[in-house]
Amino acid sequence: MNAGLIFDVLLAVALPILTWRVLAARELFTCVVLFIAFGLLISVAYVRLEAPDLALAEAAVGAGVTGALFLETLARLGERRSERR
């Protein structure tokens, strides 16, 4: 079997599994980290589909900026929870 085909099949299997894990995660931090990993895998999928512009945009916005905003939001939520106690 071709190595590219094997990689594509693994990617096609990993994406729905990772999606389910993001939706099923109980901890917010775990959910955010899995969301960032999902964005990076989607970027790889776009590269495999020969769409480098979409891959770059997804990596920068989907995984990078959005992930950073989610992590910052989690940090602020943690500060507010500690202030209430």
% the chain with pLDDT above 70: 96
- The reported pLDDT for the residue numbered 85 is 65
Q: Looking at the predicted structure, is the pLDDT value of residue 71 above 70?
A: yes
List, for residues 58-68, the tens digit of each pLDDT value. Answer: 999 988 899 99
The pair of structure tokens assigned to 27 is 């901890």
Q: Looking at the predicted structure, is the pLDDT value of residue 80 above 80?
A: no
> What is the Cα–Cα distance from 10 to 15, expressed in whole angstroms?
9
Kindly state the average pLDDT of the residues 43-47.
95
Is the CB of residue 58 less than 8 Å from the CB of residue 41? no
Is the CB of residue 58 less than 8 Å from the CB of residue 46? yes
Is the CB of residue 22 less than 8 Å from the CB of residue 40? no
The pair of structure tokens assigned to 50 is 């020969």
Q: Looking at the predicted structure, is the pLDDT value of residue 8 above 90?
A: yes
Is the CB of residue 82 less than 8 Å from the CB of residue 59? no
- The reported pLDDT for the residue numbered 79 is 73
